Amino acid sequence: MEQPNLSYINQLSGGDKTFEEKLISIIKLEFPEEKAIYYKNIESDNFKEAAENVHKLKHKISILGLEKSYEVAVDFENNLLEKSTTGKEEFDNIMQMITNFLTTL
């Protein structure tokens, strides 16, 4: 299974450590909030809102170098728009993997 990494952030920064630190701190701040809102909406069967949450979270998945996980998120977002939770378990695993990774930074 792929693992979150900082390769894209490092590439984006061109070696600017201050930029990297700012971007990482923004992700560490926003990700838990966005994840919590997603879980609140998914538990309340607010499919449209949960799909919007997944859409936002996709960007963080991508920034953390998770290409396959990004595709999982795209499929899950589309499923939510069809009022289906197919893919939820896999998406939730991705959320946990990112949470664990961010605590190591």
Evaluate whether residue 16 is within a structural domain.
yes
Packing angle, helices 88-104 and 67-81, rounded to 10: 140
Evaluate whether residue 2 is within a structural domain.
no
Compute CA 92 distance to the chain's CA centroid, rounded to the nearest angstrom: 10
What is this structure's pTM?
A: 0.94
Let me know how long the chain is.
Answer: 105
- pLDDT (tens digit per residue) in 24-70: 999 999 999 999 999 999 999 999 999 999 999 999 999 999 999 99
Q: Tell me how many domains the chain contains.
A: 1
Sign of CA dihedral 43, 46, 49, 50: positive
Provide the residue range defining the domain that includes 83.
7-104
Confidence check: pLDDT of 6 > 80: yes
Q: Using CA atoms, how far apart are residues 33 and 85, in angstroms rounded to an integer? A: 21
Percentage of residues of the chain with pLDDT beyond 90: 99
> Do the Cβ atoms of 37 and 74 come closer than 8 Å?
no
- Among residues 13, 83, 100, the alpha carbon closest in space to that of 49 is found at 83
Per-residue model confidence (pLDDT) at position 1:
72
Q: What is the CATH number of the domain that holds 53?
A: 1.20.120
